[in-house]
């Protein structure tokens, strides 16, 4: 009998140019804390079940690469990871209150698309933040 493979997302490995600046940004935006680090790496996670259910591994590099891409067919900029929040408006307002640069929060352009916005870290790594909730 063959059992199905169950995949879970555990860690997002993210290239950064300044480890301390990025550590501060991820802590401010996602509420994660450093669980281990050295001079070139910083593993961050939420305490217990309070926060995103994923870990971030910030990797200091001089590559100049950031995560995200442009769709050559539609010219749309896509994120490398989408994160769902329960209270999109509340999360958005909290980021603005913290001085985090965020684009205007607009209604989705397509019926199938959730409401959300793009969020970029200091190195331009692009996250999608969204919610399917309609309330």
* Domain regions of the chain by residue span: 9-60, 69-135
* Pair 130, 82: CB distance under 8 Å: yes
User: Could you tell me the pLDDT band of residue 132, with boundaries at 50, 70 and 90?
Assistant: confident
* pLDDT score recorded for residue 24: 97
| Cβ density class 78-103: b for 16+ within 10 Å, e for less | ebebebeeeebeebbeebeeeeeebe
CATH 3.10.180.10 fits 69-135, yes or no: yes
Distance CA 24, CA 11 (A): 18
Residue 1: pLDDT band by 50, 70, 90 thresholds? low
Residues in the chain: 135
Fold adopted by 9-60 = 3.30.720
Question: Confidence class of residue 116 from pLDDT cuts 50, 70 and 90?
Answer: very high
**pLDDT range class, residue 53, cuts 50, 70, 90:** confident
């Amino acid at each position: 009998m063959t059992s199905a493979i169950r995949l879970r997302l555990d860690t997002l490995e993210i290239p950064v140019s300044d480890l301390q600046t990025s550590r501060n940004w991820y802590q401010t935006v996602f509420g994660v804390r450093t669980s281990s680090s050295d001079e070139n790496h910083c593993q961050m996670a939420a305490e217990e079940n309070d926060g995103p259910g994923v870990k971030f591994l910030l990797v200091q590099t001089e590559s100049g690469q950031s995560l995200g891409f442009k769709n050559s067919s539609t010219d749309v900029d896509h994120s490398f990871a989408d994160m769902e929040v329960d209270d999109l408006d509340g999360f958005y307002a909290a980021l603005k209150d913290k001085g985090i640069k965020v684009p205007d929060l607009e209604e989705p352009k397509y019926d199938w698309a959730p409401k959300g916005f793009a969020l970029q870290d200091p190195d331009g790594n692009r996250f999608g933040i969204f919610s399917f909730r309609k309330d």
